[in-house]
Amino acid sequence: NAGVTQTPKFQVLKTGQSMTLQCAQDMNHNSMYWYRQDPGMGLRLIYYSASEGTTDKGEVPNGYNVSRLNKREFSLRLESAAPSQTSVYFCASSDGQGFIVLTFGAGSRLTVL
Amino acid sequence: SQQGEEDPQALSIQEGENATMNCSYKTSINNLQWYRQNSGRGLVHLILIRSNEREKHSGRLRVTLDTSKKSSSLLITASRAADTASYFCATDLNDYKLSFGAGTTVTVRA
């Protein structure tokens, strides 16, 4: 049982390049999330998808786009990467029933030069 | 802005000692959760306490919640080296979102 799988684990980009972070879960969860983690800042919510077919902005959505491709997959796209987007990105999912309890992926470390 | 704030930022204890960390939050909540993050890994859910509960136990973990003070504490008893990690509190902003604090880094010395 893989849980939440993120790819790639590491990526180095140059300013202005684009890339997509992929996330897939095999727990039949309804809700999926993208967070970024920066030193001393904790986790900040970028975008979330409460259910298949819906997406909503979180605290720090600027510079990002998301796609809920199907129930399993939720991708995060950086159209024109900036050094301020250097961070560790976490995808998470929840069954969306009752209280939200998150299952996290292992993270994707992105460096923008 | 983030809802929760943990205190202290870092904690170093001897194996076998207890570790206590606190979380304060700003607005009313339905529940508060604690997560653990080992170095280089994703967060793992530890325990959830509902707003109408005052204390909850899970193994060596004890969580308290004081809604009048908008605060929670996490106690890890009889700490082990494997408890070395960062601990985060999370509060629900609405039915679909959780807000995390900046975390407490706990180091357990052998």
Cβ contact A24:A106 at 8 Å: no
Average pLDDT over residues B98-105: 92
User: Residue B10: which pLDDT band, with cuts at 50, 70 and 90?
Assistant: very high
Query: Pick from A4, A40, A45: which is nearest to B97 by CB?
Result: A45
Question: For A50-107, how does the pLDDT look when each residue is reduced to its tens digit (9 = 90+)?
Answer: 999 999 999 999 999 999 999 999 999 999 999 999 999 999 999 877 888 999 999 9
User: Has residue B6 got a pLDDT over 90?
Assistant: no
Q: Is B97 on the interface with A (CB under 8 A)?
A: yes
Contact B102 A42 (CB under 8 A): yes
pLDDT at A28 over 90: yes
Confidence of residue B95 (pLDDT cuts 50, 70, 90): low
Closest CA to A74 of A91, A61, A87: A91
Whether A41 and chain B come into contact, CB under 8 Å, resolves to yes
B100/A101 CB distance under 8 A: no
Quick one: pLDDT band at residue B2, thresholds 50, 70, 90? low
Q: Do the Cβ atoms of A102 and B45 come within 8 Å?
A: yes
The stretch B20-30 carries a mean pLDDT of 93
Give the chain B residue whose CA is nearest to the CA of A50: B96
- Asked if the model's pLDDT at residue B74 lies above 70, the reply is yes
10 Å Cβ neighbour count for A52? 15
Predicted confidence band at A18 (pLDDT cuts at 50, 70, 90)? very high
DSSP string, A26-93: SS--SEEEEEEEETTTEEEEEEEESSTT--EE-S--TTEEEEE-SSSBEEEEESS--GGG-EEEEEEE
Residue A111, C-beta contacts closer than 8 angstroms, at least 6 positions apart: A11, A12, A13, A86
Q: How high is the pLDDT of residue A39?
A: 85
Phi-psi bin for B103: left (phi > 0), alpha (psi -120 to 50), beta?
Answer: left
